[in-house]
Amino acid sequence: MDGGEAAPRVMRPRILSLEQLKDADVDHLIDIREPMSYASGHLPGAMSLPVSMIPAFAGWFISEGQSVALIASDEAQLALATEHLVRIALDNIVGGYVGMVSVAQQGETIEQTPMIVTSEVKERLDHADNWTLLDVRDADERASVAIEDSQHIYVGHLNEAWHKLDKDHRYTLMCASGHRATVAAGWLASKGFKHLDIYLGSMGAWQATYD
């Protein structure tokens, strides 16, 4: 009797220690954990690209041949991210690291991206200077409904448009729910922007309050 087909090979990157991660000279350090985990604490220079968003957005920010290192919650997450990246020809994966909790325990520098709620957004729209509410949804979404006095740059277009933004300015990133806003904030943070926060709930929260 013939045997069954061999199980498909699970692609996993090399597991890196924290020191190996810090020494890795890569083009992109990518935190693939969920947006709230990234916002709560991430390594300096890391961008946010949750596993589920890799197929849609990785190609906007990573060019073929560029090297990446991944930061994940567990090895299964690393395996899935690797599969997604390889499928879109972004296969120069140096390795992956698991263990952000231990990073904090070792006293390493951890950065956070604050999240703000609708009342704070409204207060800033009414009174804040040197601040912009930056909407990163697509053009169709914005055409359907938008917050007055917000500005618009599609999240994918920030791959180049970040050059036109002022690193001394304060930006609150928003989208439909906060997920793409976290990706946008992570990209800007990886480019050296320091004055960033994320509108938690984003357009959904605004409409729930004011519509």
CA separation for the pair 142, 147 (Å, rounded): 9
Confidence of residue 126 (pLDDT cuts 50, 70, 90): very high
The two three-digit tokens of residue 154, written as one number: 């599609």
CA separation for the pair 121, 19 (Å, rounded): 39
Confidence of residue 7 (pLDDT cuts 50, 70, 90): very low
Q: 129: which residues sit within 8 A by CB, 6+ positions away?
A: none
> What average pLDDT score do residues 139-167 get?
97
SS3 for 197?
strand
Residue 193 confidence (pLDDT): 97
Closest C-alpha among 166, 159, 157 to residue 196 = 166
37, 74 contact by CB (below 8 A): no
Output the pTM of the full model. 0.91
**Residue 210 φ/ψ, nearest 5 degrees:** -115, -5
